[in-house]
Chain A
Amino acid sequence: MAQVSMTVNGKSVSGDVEGRTLLSSFLRDHLSLTGTHVGCDTGQCGACVVHVNGESVKSCNMLAVEADGAEVGTIEGQANPDGSLNVIQQAFQEHHGLQCGFCTPGMVMSAAALLKENPKPTEAEIREYLEGNICRCTGYHNIVKAIMAASGQDVGAIAAE
């Protein structure tokens, strides 16, 4: 057992974990932050994406002890301080960028990381950036559209409603 301490969504937390405990399980099982999802066991699906010190990270691919001392951001901390949806979340709702919602936390966290490094990505850049996030429901159309809209681009011309 090891003691880990970190800041999660701005709050300091700590816990006793085994060396092999993944960051995803620490968030879900120790902190009950179940918005971070686990969709695979090979680091491929991106349902578990969180931010660690501002970088997007697959939390199933990182040990909790590796995040000791880090600033961690999860989907639960994304809304505006008044509880309203942030720009990316709003765009996902506005453009129907989610269906079952299982991939959604990872998508939103990846989108946030993308827009931080590239505030006006092209369609191709978005599609390429989402390489590590699988969505089985949406066919990606409305996810890509939502991210373009969240970056302030006009998506009115994109085919279909």
Chain B
Amino acid sequence: MPKDSGIGASSKRREDVRFLTGAGNYTDDINIHGQAYVYFLRSDIAHGRINSIDTADAEAMPGVVRVFTGADFEGVGGMPCGWQVTDRHGQPMQEPPHPILAQGKVRHVGDPIAAVVADSLEQARDAAEAIAFDIEELPAVVDMREAAKGGATKVHDDLTSNICYDWVLGETDDAKVDEVFQNAAHVTTLELTNNRLVANPMEPRVCVAEYSRGTDEYTLYTTSQNPHVIRLLMCAFVLGLPEHKVRVVAPDVGGGFGTKIFHYAEEAFCTFAAKACNRPVKWTASRSEAFMSDAQGRDHVTKIELALDSDNNFVGLRTDTLANMGAYLSTFSSSVPTWLHGTLMAGNYKTPVIQVNVKAIFTNTVPVDAYRGAGRPEATFQLERVIDKAARELGVDPIKLRRQNFITEFPYDTPVALTYDTGDYNGTMDKLEAAADIAGFPARRAESEARGKLRGLGVNCYIEACGIAPSNIVGMLGARAGLYDAATVRVNATGTISVMVGAHSHGQGHETAFPQVVAEMIGIDESMVEIVHGDTSKIPFGMGTYGSRSLAVCGSAMVRATEKIINKAKKIAAHLLEASEADIELKDGQFTVAGTDKSVAWGDVTLTAYVPHNFPLEDIEPGLEETAFYDPANFTFPAGAYACEVEVDPETGKVTIERFTAADDFGNIVNPMIVDGQVHGGIGQGIGQALLENCVYDENGQLLSASYMDYAMPRADDVPFYTVDHSSQTPCTHNPLGVKGCGEAGAIGSPPAVVNAVIDALQSGGKTVDHIDMPVSPSRVWAAMNG
């Protein structure tokens, strides 16, 4: 019987009511009396030297409050990078400055040259057109392979080259790796591109900032996944403001997918300008602006080689990747191709020797950073494509080849720095085979063929590492932040509860799922528990929501704080019941004394905590409020197996997704409805990457896909209904809820399934195609079939 409340129940989302009635409060819905508007003049060339900027005419335009250029930010910090990667020679990565407004050069289309603050947006825009500037166009470096060459034009003149770092993980001795490959019975090699994507949350970024001269306090409302991180970075590294004078609020946020993690120049600018202009200021990105200023995702070029012995056991894996950083290092850009990608190259398999090499490259393009999955989709795509290719070369069943090489014993130390705590890859594959009706595929293929279509089945596995941790280890790896989270549980006198959490919900349903946990622990109704998030003035410190960490990390903090509450409440109950604390039990909101019929209700205990007339004041303080910080012992490792069936029209090359099945092991699950929704959304984005989406620059660095006319977002008729099964559950061994995280799985697991299916379809039609780069568009498929 499915539960109807508490942990494991598909409780309906309480946040939906405001979103469904137009009562949400998104940043652009916030207007402050007297606000001025910001318009950024952005570079329309990819690379140029700024010889002069003259703002005099613009300043004189009607309604203009002030015009800012890079010169106004001399002496102010630049946008920081939150992760210092150490290269293969032990040297720190090259870390160029990233000013709030361009200084000296513009380095990508969209780089802000100047900002106008005016009474209205129209006036700000008109004035921006009156700014006179002399920017000398320089050759742009766009292609990573060209940019990596010695003698290439440099994006940053002060760096030695365009290579940010050259990093190795796993077996560092090249000779040992060579030996494995020389002795292998079979080697499969694949060169592939992981296409650049634009995250495209439907809500564009917005900032509203105000400054109070009376109190010297700043408030920044911003579209962020992690308001405390923004406050810390902006105060400590950019503007040099005292943290306690700055409040950052991320109200309802219309999707993030990673791209709203980062601290953006516009946030620092608006905060700075609110004081400089002594006016509240507001900036709302247009969608076109989002395409050239939101950090983009993926963009790797990889050569991967898999070595197998004569029994088809994986014996070695070697990868060589170029990862595009764009023109500047966005907040977590450097960690994505390294510690979030290289570490995942073992996948679900017991390959003994792995070497991962990544070179991160600067180019004259928009900065690249984490996008849903962040590094893990890139790792999964390479690995699961090369395994598929190996199976085809060897003439073995791709599922059988995977099963044969699965890790089956846990904990398992991979050769690439991780320890998987638990998993059941065969069990999850069994679920997939059943849910996807793999056995029925030949009949479905025959049916498609009878209609003149080619049908393919693609299967793959994935593993991901979520809830990145622990802080002391990630610190050694270069993180400039801790990766714990925090929660405060505030019990009111009447027994209702506010939980202030560091996680931020921008679609994930925390307002519904988190109370399910607290309510279950205490045995009260979910409606008595409310979640407060997204405001640095209301919540304890928190690292926010990304990397599928909210429940595994912040949820664990919430459990710890609730445990403290229960412990204290038991002391109060023991006092009221004149019993020993050890004999007090809490069930269904009643404290009872074991072996007796004495009891006191939750509400009586909470009232006593705040009206402590009969209270053990000598032992404990009045009140009932507790905070916990939780620093996980390890990552969590959700894993799964996905299957995609496509039809390919041999006449046009058009691919349609006929069936898509996901079997995931997320450990324990709090709200199955929400988990399914997270997987659906991830699959939608993964199908988008595989079939449709591509962020393209021409050789001059012009962004060709800068609107929804040119960047193909998945629409309702591009995708089918999905089948999602998460009944394979091996609980995480090191967090109190046994949860693993589900936010990114769909986006990680789905692209290789789609491409594997297309290749299967084409090969079934007698084509010798063994790879097509994403997006697998009709023209690419047609060219591959006819090339």
Interface residues of A, Cβ cutoff 8 Å to B? 28-29, 33-42, 44-45, 47, 74-76, 78-79, 85, 89, 92-94, 96, 98-105, 108, 123-124, 126-128, 130-131, 133-145, 158-161
Please name the residue on chain A nearest to B750 by beta carbon: A139
Main SS of chain A's interface residues? loop
A102 touches B21 (CB 8 A): no
Interface centre among A29, A137, A140 (most CB of B within 10 A): A137
A135 CB contacts on chain B under 8 angstroms: 202, 716
A110–B583 CA distance with the chains assembled, in angstroms: 59
Distance of A123 from chain B, by nearest CB (Å): 7
B200 touches A126 (CB 8 A): no
A96 touches B674 (CB 8 A): yes
A92 CB contacts on chain B under 8 angstroms: 16, 20
Distance of A50 from chain B, by nearest CB (Å): 10
B677 touches A142 (CB 8 A): yes
Please name the residue on chain B nearest to A101 by beta carbon: B19
B721 touches A144 (CB 8 A): yes
Distance of B296 from chain A, by nearest CB (Å): 15
A108–B200 CA distance with the chains assembled, in angstroms: 21
Interface centre among A35, A123, A136 (most CB of B within 10 A): A136
Q: Return the contact of B681 from the options A29, A76, A99, A124 (Cβ within 8 A).
A: A99
Distance of A54 from chain B, by nearest CB (Å): 19
B255 touches A102 (CB 8 A): yes
Interface residues of B, Cβ cutoff 8 Å to A? 10, 12-13, 15-24, 26, 28-29, 31, 200-204, 252-255, 257, 286-288, 506-509, 672-674, 676-677, 680-685, 687, 707-709, 713-717, 719, 721-725, 746
Apart from the given pairs A34-B26, A41-B707, A128-B716, 17 other A-B contacts in the complex at a CB distance below 8 Å: A33-B22, A34-B22, A37-B203, A39-B203, A39-B254, A40-B708, A85-B17, A100-B507, A101-B16, A101-B24, A102-B255, A138-B684, A139-B682, A139-B719, A141-B719, A160-B676, A160-B723
Distance of A14 from chain B, by nearest CB (Å): 21
Q: Return the contact of A37 from the options B17, B254, B676, B724 (Cβ within 8 A).
A: B254
B674 CB contacts on chain A under 8 angstroms: 96
Q: Return the contact of B724 from the options A39, A98, A100, A159 (Cβ within 8 A).
A: A159
B201 CB contacts on chain A under 8 angstroms: 100, 102, 136
A158 CB contacts on chain B under 8 angstroms: 721
Interface centre among B22, B680, B721 (most CB of A within 10 A): B22
**Given A98-B20, A99-B508, A139-B722: A44 and B707 interface contact (C-beta under 8 Å):** yes
A100 touches B683 (CB 8 A): no
Interface centre among B19, B29, B202, B676 (most CB of A within 10 A): B202
Contacts across chains A and B counted by CB atoms under 8 Å: 198
A134 touches B202 (CB 8 A): yes
**Given A35-B22, A101-B252: A161 and B676 interface contact (C-beta under 8 Å):** yes
Please name the residue on chain A nearest to B725 by beta carbon: A160
A100 touches B721 (CB 8 A): no
Distance of B244 from chain A, by nearest CB (Å): 31
Q: Return the contact of A138 from the options B23, B31, B681, B709 (Cβ within 8 A).
A: B681
Distance of A97 from chain B, by nearest CB (Å): 9
Distance of A89 from chain B, by nearest CB (Å): 4
**Given A96-B676, A136-B685, A144-B721: A89 and B21 interface contact (C-beta under 8 Å):** yes
A98 touches B723 (CB 8 A): no
A42–B680 CA distance with the chains assembled, in angstroms: 27
A137 CB contacts on chain B under 8 angstroms: 202, 255, 507, 677, 681
Please name the residue on chain A nearest to B506 by beta carbon: A100
A98 touches B672 (CB 8 A): no
Q: Return the contact of B680 from the options A40, A123, A139 (Cβ within 8 A).
A: A139
B707 CB contacts on chain A under 8 angstroms: 40-42, 44
A124–B21 CA distance with the chains assembled, in angstroms: 27
A73–B353 CA distance with the chains assembled, in angstroms: 63
Distance of B419 from chain A, by nearest CB (Å): 32
A-B pairs with the 8 shortest C-beta distances? A35-B22, A139-B684, A101-B19, A102-B254, A100-B507, A99-B507, A44-B708, A75-B22
B202 touches A45 (CB 8 A): yes
A29–B31 CA distance with the chains assembled, in angstroms: 9
**Given A39-B204, A98-B20, A104-B20: A142 and B254 interface contact (C-beta under 8 Å):** no
A76–B709 CA distance with the chains assembled, in angstroms: 29
A127 touches B716 (CB 8 A): yes
B716 CB contacts on chain A under 8 angstroms: 126-128, 130-131, 133, 135, 140, 143-144
Distance of B734 from chain A, by nearest CB (Å): 28
B506 CB contacts on chain A under 8 angstroms: 100
A133–B714 CA distance with the chains assembled, in angstroms: 10
B254 touches A100 (CB 8 A): yes
A98 touches B16 (CB 8 A): yes
A136–B21 CA distance with the chains assembled, in angstroms: 20
Please name the residue on chain B nearest to A9 by beta carbon: B22
B676 touches A101 (CB 8 A): no
A114–B290 CA distance with the chains assembled, in angstroms: 31
A28–B26 CA distance with the chains assembled, in angstroms: 12
A39 CB contacts on chain B under 8 angstroms: 202-204, 254, 287
A38 CB contacts on chain B under 8 angstroms: 28
Q: Return the contact of A94 from the options B12, B23, B672 (Cβ within 8 A).
A: B12
B19 touches A104 (CB 8 A): yes
Please name the residue on chain B nearest to A89 by beta carbon: B20
Please name the residue on chain A nearest to B724 by beta carbon: A160
A105 touches B22 (CB 8 A): yes
A69–B201 CA distance with the chains assembled, in angstroms: 35
B722 touches A101 (CB 8 A): no
A4–B756 CA distance with the chains assembled, in angstroms: 57
B719 CB contacts on chain A under 8 angstroms: 139-141
Q: Return the contact of A102 from the options B18, B202, B286, B717 (Cβ within 8 A).
A: B202
A150–B257 CA distance with the chains assembled, in angstroms: 29
